[in-house]
Amino acid sequence: MALVVFLIAIGAAALSENMIPPSHIQTIDPTKVAQTPPFDRPGLRQTGQRQYEAYLLAHIFAFTPPHITIPVGSKVTFYTTSPDVVHGFFITNTAVNMMVVPGWVSSATHVFRRAGTYLLLCNGYCGSGHHYMYGTIEVKG
Ligand SMILES: [Cu+2]
């Protein structure tokens, strides 16, 4: 009985608050990533005062672009996809930790309140060059 009550409560909350999964909400043809905007020009776009969108490709065995620089206090929404195999997208000292699956665009947002260099790591084994697959996010104070 308690289970039924909880399921109804969770279902009603999810519907009334229009909850959606935090990632895997956009699709893309993995064979045409290089020709599909905005991934045809990966990189950082400023969308407001200390607000950015970062389009980063995860592919064997690198992130493109591998480095981005933002001012401290920036809110960045990361969008990533893969043209080849499954990768990971993990930024150290943040809650950004996504699976990058060909055919899907994953996204996550983080506010970088502290200056420093954050590592962007692939944390899903993707092949022989997996351990070379990293990038950096430079947050300037
Ligand atoms: Cu990898």
Q: For residue 19, what pLDDT is reported? A: 65
pLDDT in tens, 17-39: 766 555 557 899 999 999 999 99
The CATH code belonging to domain 22-140 is 2.60.40.420
Q: Under 8 Å CB-to-CB from 23, ≥6 apart: which residues? A: 98, 99, 104, 106, 107, 108
- CA 107 to ligand 1 center in whole angstroms: 18
Domain range list for the chain: 22-140
More confident residue, 13 or 131: 131
- CA 59 to ligand 1 center in whole angstroms: 8
Spatial separation of the C-alpha atoms in residues 89 and 87, rounded to whole Å? 7
- CA 45 to ligand 1 center in whole angstroms: 25
- CA 118 to ligand 1 center in whole angstroms: 17
- CA 84 to ligand 1 center in whole angstroms: 11
Instruction: Give the mean model confidence (pLDDT) for residues 67-93.
Output: 97
Q: For residue 20, what pLDDT is reported? A: 59
Q: For residue 9, what pLDDT is reported? A: 81
- CA 122 to ligand 1 center in whole angstroms: 4
pLDDT in tens, 38-77: 999 999 999 999 999 999 999 999 999 999 999 999 999 9
- CA 123 to ligand 1 center in whole angstroms: 6
pLDDT in tens, 110-130: 999 999 999 999 999 999 999
φ, ψ of residue 50 to 5 degrees: the values are: 55, 35
In this structure, what token pair is assigned to residue 135? Answer: 């990038």
- CA 70 to ligand 1 center in whole angstroms: 24
- CA 49 to ligand 1 center in whole angstroms: 33
